[in-house]
Amino acid sequence: MTLNVLFLAAEAEPFIKVGGLGDVAGALPEAIHNATQPSSGLPEVDIRLVIPYHYAIKERDFDTQLIGEFDVPKVDGSEKCQVYHYDKGAIPIYLLDGDPIDDKSPVYSIDPILDGYKFVFFSIAALELPHFLNWRVDILQANDWHTATSVYALTKKRFRKGPLKDTRTIHTLHNLPFMGLASSKRSLIMVCRRLMIPFCPNGPGTPHSRWACIPPTVSSPFRRTTQKKS
């Protein structure tokens, strides 16, 4: 049986690169795809990359196709998320857009509210994407604090349904010193409540630990940091 992997990242080459995460997210999914071809003798992997449709990506005029939109729920209604597909590479790539993403801010800003709302929205929208695609997810791989909310959300029953019913998670940390330390507890509570994500009051002081305080298997380029599986 094919293993379906949803790979989430805040940046990825060739679309946008700020640091090493862009290198990894741009290369690793395709490498996994190439390594698991039928001739390899390994189980086939259908891996799909999902990134935010940052303004900086739009300026570069990639040949993306709008394939639809869906609602991302929040406490005072919902936010629309537009789904764009890029089919020029070796794997399917989806770019998610919406009001929290569709502005002229940089990929990472110095405003914790702006970044928090953008990446929480992206993380939850990414969990709605498999329903839109009608595509089962066996493994969700999140990267750094920007997509940690998706891992934490999957510990909640309302997300554990349909194509996400049996999803396992991996959370990879690429740069341990940069885990969103600028975000205050107050701002995180505000962001999480607006998008109907329970806030973990006992987590330590970073968005990664607060939003993913019930950890999955967490891997790091430096060392294994957590062994608990979701």
Distance CA 53, CA 230 (A): 28
In what order do the strands lie in the sheet containing 217-219? 65-74, 77-86, 93-97, 45-52, 3-8, 139-143, 168-172, 217-219
Can you identify the CATH homologous superfamily of domain 3-219?
Answer: Glycogen Phosphorylase B; (3.40.50.2000)
Burial class of residue 197, CB neighbours in 10 A (0-12, 13-18, 19+): buried
Q: List per-residue pLDDT tens for the chain, 230 residues long.
A: 899 999 999 999 999 999 899 999 999 999 999 999 888 888 899 999 999 999 999 999 899 999 999 999 877 788 999 999 999 989 999 999 999 997 788 898 887 778 888 998 999 999 999 999 999 999 999 999 889 889 988 988 889 999 999 999 998 887 666 655 444 444 455 555 555 554 444 443 444 433 333 334 444 343 333 333 44
Taking phi over 0 as left and psi of -120 to 50 as alpha, with beta for the rest, 46 belongs to: beta
Quick: pLDDT tens for 87-129: 998 999 999 999 999 778 889 888 777 888 899 899 999 999 9
Q: Percentage helix, strand, coil, to 5, in the chain?
A: 35, 25, 45
Q: How many other CB atoms are there within 10 angstroms of residue 199's CB atom?
A: 16
For residue 114, the Cα-to-chain-centroid distance in whole angstroms is 17
- Residue of 48, 33, 56, 32 lying closest to 83 (CA atoms): 48
DSSP structural state of residue 151:
H
Provide the residue ranges of all domains of the chain, joining segments of one domain with +.
Answer: 3-219
CA 115 and chain centroid, separation: 14
